[in-house]
A and B are shown apart, each in its own frame.
Chain A
Amino acid sequence: MSRQQLAVQRARKSFQTGKTKPLESRIHQLRNLLRFVTERRKDIAEAVKKDLSKSEHGTELFETLGVEGEIKLAIEKLAEWAAPRPVEKSLLTVSDEVFVHPEPLGVVLIIGAWNYPWAVTLQPLVGAIAAGNAAVIKPSEVCCHSAKVMEELLPRYLDKDLYPVVTGGVPETQELLRQRFDHIFYTGSSAVGKLVMEAAARNLTPVTLELGGKSPCYIDKNCDITVACRRITWGKFVNCGQTCIAPDYVLCEPSIQSRVQEEIKNCIKEFYTDDPKTFEDYGRIINKRHFKRIMALMEGSTVVVGGDSDESQCYIAPTVLKNVTGESKVMKEEIFGPLLPIITVSGVDEAIQFINEREKPLVIYVFSNENKLIKRVIAETSSGALLANDCLVHFTVSSLPFGGVGHSGMGCYHGRYGFDQLSHMRSCLIKQLKMEGVNSMRYPPHTAKKLGWARFFLLKQINLGRLRRMMLLAMFVGVASFVVQRFLR
């Protein structure tokens, strides 16, 4: 038996003992996960530094802060999320119990990505644990240091059988995907997303796919261009552009193009100093393969800011490109690097058209003072999410669903959405064997009269609220007329 098969089998056996059912045991695991993230802060930061050259602060800000927030929210809200959810009844089920019962799915597979190795692997895990599942955790082998730390240290905090960490490359992942899971949660590229879905199809396994795409960023000439550029610069160059929701490219009118370039240039200097290469808070490209890929994307466009690089360090300076069209090399794939192309459009109409000609992205950014314009972009485009006048921060609002649409993915998570995504919402109708007389109208032999009654009673939905109000009103009228008759005549 392969290592992967063994891990899945153990997880399933452990799940079947029912130990994840009680909420206290789930909260216990979540608390342990929180301890892991806080106690092992240094180990996590060191690993991320080796993988992505991210500073310790950067790791805390962009990786562990989010995970901590999600864990605390889940602990606080679990009782509420896991409680049976009542549902509207029909006339005949008024005396029955009708509710939706959230239940665990079973054994979930979580495949993490390399760009935020902790956030995108542990945040889904929070949802999985909260929903009462076992979870096999497969960190990306590309961020090898983080994967190693996860493999070594996580089992010291979480139940080893319920939440095994399985590391490995492509063949190991393929072996994992041959096993049967009750849900697969994948974060990564659209290309691999298709393979995951295909593998899941064999066992009729539902999937959540958090993919990517080219997230456009439209800057309207009517906006505070300085502030807009600050927020865009920040959003773009965090993690060296290796963020699924990074603004991939900018669209703006020619009249503001040079201003935008200038502002971004100034922000880069302000945030990353004159020499980002030596600055602690500027990262590196994950590996040589991606370095070469990103460098090649610059072909055919003009560099206006940055452009310098150092292959030995996988360093690419924060770069802005102009003379970019829809056909340029840099527009052919998701950049996932520190290159910011600026494409000119005649206005919001052309911007919307440009966006709609392409696959639905994970997020659309629009910067404008005009609410009407923003509302138009919302109404006439489609994307996982839309954020106006800033970048990235919608990720931090746990009451917003985080997910894609079309090629940017399916399903969503964060907060309660993560819990719901990894639960089965079971419909429950609890009836008694009494009141059998009422049922007789549905039994054969069928008559026209029975049919008439059945049509009325069996299926009619009643708005209990309205019925109650009407009864209250009738009661009030009754009482009022009584009072009038008795005392006022």
Chain B
Amino acid sequence: MESQSQVLERLRTAFESRVTIPEKFRRTQLTNLMSMIKDNEEQIVNALHKDLTKPKFEAILSEVEIVMNELHCALSNLTSWMQPEYVSKNLATKLDECFVRREPLGVVLIIGPWNYPMQLLIVPLIGAIAAGNCVVIKPSEVSAATDNLITELIPKYLSKDCYAVVRGGAKETQALLKNRFDHIFYTGSQAVARVVLQAAAVHLTPVTLELGGKCPCLIYGRVNATAAAHRLVWSKFFNAGQSCVAPDYVLCSKATCDALVPALRQVLEDFYGSDIQKSPDMSRIVTPKHWTRLMGLLNRTKGKVIVGGEHDEKDRYIAPTVVVDVAEDDALMEEEIFGPILPILTIESLEESIKLTKTKEKPLAFYVFSDESSVVKKVLENSSSGGFCSNDGIVHMALPGLPFGGVGNSGFGHYHGHWGFEAFSHQRAVMLRGWALEKLNALRYPPYSDEKLSWLRWTTSPKSCSIM
């Protein structure tokens, strides 16, 4: 078995041989990655079911299709992404060639989480490969079946010299982080992110952090409660609430809450039937440890469990649960829930709700449900978050055109589509000057003078080229 340093040395040698630079190579790897997903769809679905009891539908949509979509996007656009970008010049540089070149960074590290173990590992990988890097892939050991599958499949489909899977738990990851990488892409929690950043600082390695937070969901003004309930239930209980962009808690008036709760109850029955534990469309909590954590929150809440609450430890099952009369200092408001529990806080005014969200850390996503565009606009303009979506949940992150990332405590940097390519590239400024116009250059040489200076002012101002 190769040691971590042997793996890194192999990848660095491969990168220095410049094998990942040509477009053809990157295309081949991306195409192979596509085959890997297509050929093994069943195994992927099975592994995800083993890890999270993920329903086939969810697995296909959020772990297979979204990855395929990103691959299509990369393959269709790679040529244009790799093109140099020519930029505007001033008069002094009119005859020069000025452009920005996208170049690979080198050997990058991608650390994946357990909640969408395929998507959140492979989508960054697509960006890294497209950008021409060599990649060390570290899947989460918590989603063990997917970890096994990725370890088996990656070397079968991708170049073994350029892409390697490194496995292990906290100890192995800490050892891995001691090495020097040219970029680290981490998806996970704030606590581990701090460790990653500290390790990166030692080598001046740039980092992308995709973290989480409590994503608020405000429901105000005139609202179609049924439609809102459908979308809220879907986005909250997808993957049993274990999504970094799941609506964490709801803020609305008492009247809205009274209209919403029966709608939620109805939708839950429509979706999962009367015995939700028997529905094949509901996931489970990933580990007994997380199940215990969530049950702890439910036991400590001072709110009223109005829907759900059923649980089964052996099955790691917690029913989709709605809790009302939740206060700001409730146990459910302490940390990111990351589970199928939906607290509803009753706050009469929209302004008060917005004020409450401002006392909390900036989340990964911010949601508002309303038929009134003025309400949507007010929330958008008075909040800060990684992303924003009105009248739906999660779906904004499925669009490759939108940068997916956080701000503040929810992270920094972003990816998806072209943004992923940029995240793993260095934007190198290139300027090719000619030999002519040396007389013009003389304006800048000593001895300096007022006259020279005023000529230089004119020729180097960005406006001056518009006269020409």
Contacts and interface: CB of A to CB of B under 8 A. Distances in A.
A57 B411 contact: no
A166 interface: no
A234 B444 contact: yes
A55 B325 CA distance: 70
- Which among B209, B223, B460 has the greatest number of chain A C-beta atoms within 10 A? B460
Contact of B438 (A101, A227, A399, A461): A227
Contact of A197 (B201, B369, B390, B441): B201
A444 B193 contact: no
Interface string B178-221: 00001000000010011001101110101001010000000000
B306 interface: no
Q: Interface residue tally of chain B, by bracket?
A: 35 or more
A378 B384 CA distance: 40
B446 A271 contact: yes
A281 interface: yes
Contact of A410 (B206, B223, B403): B206
A393 interface: yes
Given A65-B457, A444-B279, A400 B390 contact: no
A385 B87 CA distance: 14
Q: Interface residue tally of chain A, by bracket?
A: 35 or more
A386 B430 contact: yes
A443 B271 contact: yes
A467 to B, nearest CB: 14
A193 B448 contact: no
Given A399-B87, A443-B271, A454-B61, A426 B388 contact: yes
A429 B204 contact: no
A216 B388 CA distance: 46
A259 to B, nearest CB: 16
B445 A389 contact: no
Given A384-B428, A385-B430, A427-B404, A204 B279 contact: no
A393 B398 CA distance: 42
Interface in A371-397: 371, 374, 378-380, 382-390, 393-394, 396-397
Nearest to B206: A410
A385 B398 CA distance: 34
Interface string A92-107: 0100001011010110
Contacts, number: 298
Interface stretch (A2-10, A82-90, A108-116): A82-90
A380 B17 CA distance: 10
Given A429-B395, A455-B60, A65 B456 contact: yes
Contacts of A206: 412-413
A427 B271 contact: no
B177 interface: no
Interface string A172-197: 00000000001000000010011001
Contacts of B435: 223-224, 227, 369, 389
Contacts of A388: 430-433
B227 A436 contact: yes
A479 interface: no
A270 B197 CA distance: 50
B129 interface: no
Contacts of B376: 430
A407 interface: yes
B399 A378 contact: no
B429 A57 contact: no
Contacts of A69: 460-462
Given A442-B61, A458-B61, A387 B431 contact: yes
Interface stretch (B28-36, B65-73, B149-157, B292-300): B65-73
B100 interface: yes
B430 A444 contact: no
Interface stretch (B89-97, B139-147, B253-261, B336-344): B89-97
B371 interface: yes
- Which among A73, A374, A429 has the greatest number of chain B C-beta atoms within 10 A? A429
A211 to B, nearest CB: 8
B391 interface: yes
A160 interface: no
B401 A399 contact: no
B374 to A, nearest CB: 13
Contacts of A386: 428-431
Contact of B427 (A100, A202, A401): A401
B23 to A, nearest CB: 13
Given A194-B201, A390-B433, A461-B73, A397 B93 contact: yes
Contacts of B198: 198, 201
Contacts of A255: none
Interface in B420-456: 426-435, 438, 441, 444-450, 452-453, 456
Nearest to A399: B87
Interface string A428-449: 1111111010010011111000
A427 B57 contact: no
B407 interface: yes
B272 interface: yes
B441 A231 contact: yes
B231 interface: yes
A470 interface: no
B445 A234 contact: yes
B69 A400 contact: no
- Which among B105, B282, B387, B409 has the greatest number of chain A C-beta atoms within 10 A? B387
Interface string A281-296: 1100000000000000
- Which among B270, B444, B456 has the greatest number of chain A C-beta atoms within 10 A? B444
A428 B377 CA distance: 11
B265 to A, nearest CB: 15
B432 A444 contact: no
B100 A427 contact: no
A298 B98 CA distance: 36
A190 B201 CA distance: 10
Interface string B49-76: 0000001110011000110110011000
B460 A406 contact: no
A297 B396 CA distance: 56
A472 interface: no
Given A204-B408, A426-B387, A193 B432 contact: no
B204 A197 contact: yes
A65 B452 CA distance: 13
Contacts of A182: 408
B12 interface: no
A60 interface: yes
- Which among B93, B386, B387, B401 has the greatest number of chain A C-beta atoms within 10 A? B401
A424 interface: yes
A230 interface: yes
B271 A202 contact: no
B149 to A, nearest CB: 21
Contacts of A460: 69
A459 interface: yes
Contact of B281 (A16, A424, A429, A446): A446
Given A69-B460, A431-B390, 6 more contacts: A182-B408, A204-B412, A281-B446, A382-B103, A426-B388, A432-B391
26 contacts: A76-B463, A204-B197, A204-B209, A211-B204, A271-B445, A281-B448, A384-B429, A385-B431, A390-B431, A394-B431, A396-B90, A396-B460, A399-B89, A399-B98, A401-B427, A401-B429, A406-B182, A428-B388, A433-B223, A433-B224, A439-B231, A444-B279, A445-B273, A458-B61, A459-B65, A461-B72
